[in-house]
Chain A
Amino acid sequence: MKSKGARLILQPAPLLRSGLTTPAAMRDVVYALVPLVIGASWWFGLSALLVLLAATAGAVITEWIFSLGAARGQSLQDLSATLTGMLLGLTLPPGLPLWMAFVGGAASIGLGKLIWGGLGQNPFNPALVGRAFLLGAFPTAMTTWQAPSGPAGFLGIIPSNLALPLQQPTVDALSSATPLGLMKFQNQETPLPDLMLGHTAGCLGETSGLLILLGGVYLALRRSIDWRITVAVLFSASVFSGLLHLFDADNPQPIVALFSGGLLFGAIFMATDPVTSPVTPRGAWIFGIGIGVLAILIRTFGGYPEGIMYAILLMNATTPLIERVTQPRPFGRGRPTL
């Protein structure tokens, strides 16, 4: 064709894109969670899948309802609600009544994200806001743990899952304690291989250290998470718990501290949430170090056996401040003044 009559549009440069899109980045994290979902079903059977499903449904349905009238349009396809629901689900105990998991998902999206203005506007990690909400509202159910049944019990559903809304479930005889609970309240250590493989009681996604690391390595290789934050959390937690262990041998060794509880899961999947962590590289280090220290501090001196959730939420609150003091030095200039 002769170049006559071509209708041109004025799209400003650059006309190239990196190819990475926000939904694709979210999808990447979902992929990284798949081994954890499989691991959770292996250890806790159908209950794990049901709790995950309920939490995710709560998140997705809330997002759907609230974007019905939004000027921005339907926001489900950015996958962030799905991801938040899955992340929340993986931090819940396997025996949690399904309706609570659903309410938790709704709280994550509603209180954690939408009231702030939606994706990108929330100061706190939405999944952890949902979990903190559940811990406050249903303290007993949120701290009742099941011993892993293994694949033999796959089709068995933990009875408390099916408790009706607004009824407290009866605690059944199979309940167990998490490695951190055992350590804190009974001074009993869990063997490291069990911690690695996930043969312990605990939240759905936090039990197997190896599977969490697998997801973390995938995300770091895909550059979907800022590895600085993860490394900073794990490094500072190891150093701090190592120091505490030196002073008092009752405190766990760093390697046990790393692989028990939600520290690893939090460091890889929660602390790295881009919306609620600093964008500056130096800020990422400070943020991660703060989380690691706070988590061990809460574990050792606080009332809870695990502190990673509050450590991350507290550091989320400092993100704007950290960014302010860690602005990069512009090319050919001195450091910017605050």
Chain B
Amino acid sequence: MNPVAAIRRGFRHGVHPAQYKAQTVDLPIQRLPFGHRYVLPLGQHLGVPAQPVVSPGQQVRRGQLIAQPGGFVSASLHSPVTGRVRAIEPRRTADGSLQLAIEIEADRYATQHLEPRPRSDRLALSLTEFIEELQSAGIVGLGGAAFPTHVKYTMPEGKRIRHLLINGAECEPYLTNDHRLMVERPATLLRGIGIVKRKLGADRATIGIERNKPEAIAVLKSTIRRHHRTGIAPLQVKYPQGAEKMLIRAIFGVEVPADKLPRDLGIVVNNVGTLTAIADYFDFGMPLIERVITVSGPGVTYPANLIVPIGTPVREVLDFCGGLKPPTRAVVMGGPMMGLPLPSLDVPVVKGTSGILAFTAESLPARRELPCIRCGRCLKACPHFLNPSRLGRLARLGRYEDMRRHFAMDCVECGACTLSCPSGIPLTQLIRVGKSKLRNSAAGSI
């Protein structure tokens, strides 16, 4: 590790949004009681949608495979409850689109008990078998992007992962689900780290945690033993520290080239939730059928950190938390910086859902826009060193090819520019539009 970087422990640019974590930071993870209805969109991971292997009317057990991977960059889906497949039909999802989904009606007399089936053979698994296991366990990145984990672990011939980087930065305001996981299940997390490290043949692991989570740092410090060969890197509190390339910059002091992936540098980055899910799979045989989410925001009556079965409608999660306060105007899935505004409360929690946040009218930023005064704050916010103000102007003019020349495709849509803009210009949204136009035109020309 670059010693200078180890001292500086940061990435350049970025912003300092208010944290809003106090409401949930000390609330232990609770389990949401089982409900009646679960909706599992087939495309809830990045890549190819899964293929259903059940049919309407069929009885399913909790943890049973209901959809198999539709390709290599795809993952399995499992039933979160014991019950009956009610329908396989298009349903509204968080991004507003209609997507083929499997609806499962829970059997209200079932115990929902999951017989533990520890994978005692895990030591014997080869790397290839391990990767296949992860895909069939439906493990995807739980940090938000839901990228299938087994794809990350698949290396080109002759290359090897040397360093496993664990993302406990949790830089999004309001969210405390990763924090609670680190505080409450440090041993499980370390077991997950151990399994992955051993399978990938990585020499070392480092957990990156922002300094605003001293409890997580302390708990992990006291749990880590020498044989774990795992270190903790306390990081300055800055957004977007949890973006993969920023985390690598902060901990190793190197920039992952724009056209490369972390694995090209021998690094793989996993969220703490993902590694805990991997440990749970090998400990109990439980595929990814539930996850921890934070329910918070000024519109939520009783904020909470919850274990929620995948597929639970957002409405049921909010009802468990005492419902929405009357002036709530927007509900967001994910964090306040990168989350999706929900079109309806009937959309389900998916594998990539890290939180559900409700905002009242007063807590939402004004939508009034003033002219750009070229103050340059967006440039100094952008972690990718782009010129958001110019990209936004080009997007408004429809000059998408010029946007590409100015590296619009490097933008990770972290929202730092919009946050910093004193004139209230929706820069992130404008760049998002330009990027999708560029993607569509590229797809059309092939």
Chain A contact residue count (CB 8 A cutoff): 45
CB of B323 within 8 A of CB of A2, answer yes
Q: Which of A13, A279, A281 contacts B337 (CB 8 A)?
A: A13
B352 at the interface (CB under 8 A from A): no
Chain A neighbourhood of B421, CB < 8 A: 17
Min CB–CB distance B300 → chain A (angstroms): 10
Chain A neighbourhood of B365, CB < 8 A: 11, 15-17
Interface residues on B, range: 35 or more
CB of A21 within 8 A of CB of B343, answer no
Given A16-B18, A279-B376, A332-B245, does the pair A327, B387 have CB atoms closer than 8 Å? yes
Q: How far is the CA of A276 from the CA of B389 in the complex (A)?
A: 15
CB of B329 within 8 A of CB of A9, answer yes
Contact with B along A85-124 (1 / 0, CB 8 A): 0000000000000000000000000000000001111000
Counting chain A CB atoms within 10 Å of each CB, which of B345, B376, B419 scores highest? B376
CB of B18 within 8 A of CB of A13, answer no
CB of B330 within 8 A of CB of A25, answer no
A328 at the interface (CB under 8 A from B): yes
- Of chain A, the residue at the smallest CB distance from B318 is A3
CB of B359 within 8 A of CB of A226, answer no
CB of A3 within 8 A of CB of B420, answer no
Which residues, 379 to 436 on B, are CB-close (under 8 Å) to A? 379-380, 383-387, 389, 407, 410, 415-416, 418-424, 426, 428-429, 432
If over half of A's interface residues share one DSSP class (helix, strand or loop), that class is named, otherwise mixed; here it is loop
Min CB–CB distance B199 → chain A (angstroms): 28
Counting chain B CB atoms within 10 Å of each CB, which of A12, A15, A24, A226 scores highest? A15
Contact with A along B354-369 (1 / 0, CB 8 A): 0001010001110100
Chain B neighbourhood of A17, CB < 8 A: 365, 418-419, 421, 424
Contact with A along B15-46 (1 / 0, CB 8 A): 10110000000000000000000000000000
Chain A neighbourhood of B15, CB < 8 A: 18
- Of chain B, the residue at the smallest CB distance from A80 is B373
- Of chain B, the residue at the smallest CB distance from A279 is B376
CB of A12 within 8 A of CB of B429, answer yes
A14 at the interface (CB under 8 A from B): yes
Q: Which of A9, A16, A23, A274 contacts B330 (CB 8 A)?
A: A9
Contact with B along A220-251 (1 / 0, CB 8 A): 00000010000000000000000000000000
What are 14 pairs between A and B in contact, CB < 8 Å? A3-B323, A8-B341, A10-B96, A15-B357, A16-B415, A16-B419, A22-B422, A22-B423, A72-B371, A274-B375, A277-B374, A281-B380, A332-B257, A333-B258
Q: Which residues of A contact B (CB under 8 A)?
A: 1-4, 6-18, 20-25, 72, 78, 80, 118-121, 226, 274-275, 277, 279-281, 327-333, 336
Q: Which residues of B contact A (CB under 8 A)?
A: 15, 17-18, 96, 173, 245, 249, 255-260, 315, 318-319, 323-326, 328-332, 334-345, 357, 359, 363-365, 367, 370-377, 379-380, 383-387, 389, 407, 410, 415-416, 418-424, 426, 428-429, 432
